[in-house]
Structure 1
Amino acid sequence: MKNWNFKIKNILYIGLLGILLTACSQALQVSYDYDSSVNLKQFKTFKVEAELNMEQDPLLGSELNRRRLQDAVVEVMLSKGYTQVADTPEITVRFMTDVKDRQQVRSNNMYSPYMWWYGGGNNISTYNYQESRFILNIYQNTSDRMIWQGWASGKVKAPTKKEDRQTMVKNTIADILRTFPEATLDTYSRN
């Protein structure tokens, strides 16, 4: 009997731990879009800069966070095999952040066959929150046109420790750039 109680307690603890980990995870939706007329696998060099002429959130777009974002983009692009150059890169990765006020409306229908007896109805509640977005725009330098865009959006709760913030930003940038191809050894332009 003690063995069964021990197993049941362990299962409950594991279930509770799973629920807590799920509840604490960042709920960011990641997506991307690209120009299908451009061969994204042809590029090898890049540079990183903040997006031009964009208004940024004073907290999320602070100088500290801009440095974290820039460092994270550089680290992820280098891990994908690209080379960072200052002069004449093939692509420029520009980043930006913003925060939008959002509202979620929830409806709890309480209709039942006994509604005429108990009364019933429709309870509506609203929930206000802020949605943060991390956006990466990649431009081809020969034409200065956007060839790829990726973004992550959702509710973000900033970690309390500096190291955790850097890790969160790096993981978010890695998630966004996951679909961007790695640098290849040949450019498919052999004659």
Structure 2
Amino acid sequence: MNNMQRLIRPFMVAVAACVMLAACASGPRVRTDYDPTANFSQYRTWGWYSPIAMEQAGYSSWVSERIKANVQREMDARGYRYDEKTPDLKVNFQAVVQERSDVYSMPRSDVAWAYSYRARSYVAVPVWYDETMVSNYTEGTLTVDLVDAAKNRMVWTGDAIGRIGARRTPEERAVDVDASVAAIFSKYPYSAGNGQPLPLPAR
């Protein structure tokens, strides 16, 4: 792999991972985790982790810039003030693509022919069985981490997970990115200076 391929590959992975099921009615699947010892009431400002995982190739892309704009909007909406130099929280994000397989059973029916001595001929006998099916697909995961800047310790993380479908236009992918970030932060229950989690909207 030459240097150009090594630089381009992370960007292509990031683009692919952000083409989630956000366009579908159900949206991406979201999972979260947090540090139970963290005191969220002490966090009032935020900034970017350095280097951002998605930009480790040394440059940004329209995808990472789109994610940044969405994250800033979500943090602002929760009352966090951006502080480039000494933030309380640092935000990091990454995208990963993996090949997956689902194995499931599908009920089937068929007809077997058996000789009947009573009828002195072959007769059809219905047969029911389960057929094992395998579905191969590509899954993308967008992860957003909130890191305690003083301790360099992750205190909250959210993943948006979905199948990557057919080719989509950049405009459609941008909408998918917006929906994925929004889905992640819909599960973040805190606001600036408030350590009591707020009720989350039902999904």
Structure 2 length-normalised TM: 0.66
- How many residues are aligned here? 159
1:183 to 189, 192, 196: 192
Decide which of 170, 181, 191 is 1:173's aligned counterpart: 181
Q: Secondary structure at the match of 1:36?
A: coil
Tell me: higher relative CO, structure 1 or 2? Use CA pairs within 8 A at least 6 residues apart.
2
Larger Rg: 2
For the residue of structure 2 that corresponds to 1:182, the secondary structure is coil
Match of 1:152 in 2: 160
Larger strand proportion, structure 1 or 2? 2
Listed one character per residue, the Cα deviations across residues 11-63 of structure 1 (whole Å, up to 9, x for unaligned) are xxxxxxxxxxxx9435411111101111223211111347656798xxxxx72
Percent of aligned pairs sharing the same letter: 26
Q: In the alignment, which residue of structure 2 is the partner of 1:128?
A: 136
Tell me the amino acid that sits aligned with residue 144 of structure 1.
N
Pairwise CA distance, 1:76 = 1.1
Ranges in structure 1 where 5+ consecutive residues have no aligned partner: 1-22, 57-61
Equivalent residue of 2:96, what SS?
strand
Report the equivalent of 2:69: 71
Q: How does 1:23-172 map to 2 (within 5 A)?
A: 24-25=24-25, 27-49=27-49, 63-110=61-108, 117-157=125-165, 159-162=168-171, 164-172=172-180
TM-score scaled to structure 1, two decimals? Answer: 0.70
C-alpha change, 1:26 and 1:66, in structure 2 (3 Å) is: farther
The structure in which a higher percent of residues are helix is 1
Q: Tell me if structure 1 keeps the 8 A contact 2:54–2:95.
A: no
Stretches of structure 2 that go unaligned for 5 or more consecutive residues are: 1-22, 115-124, 197-203
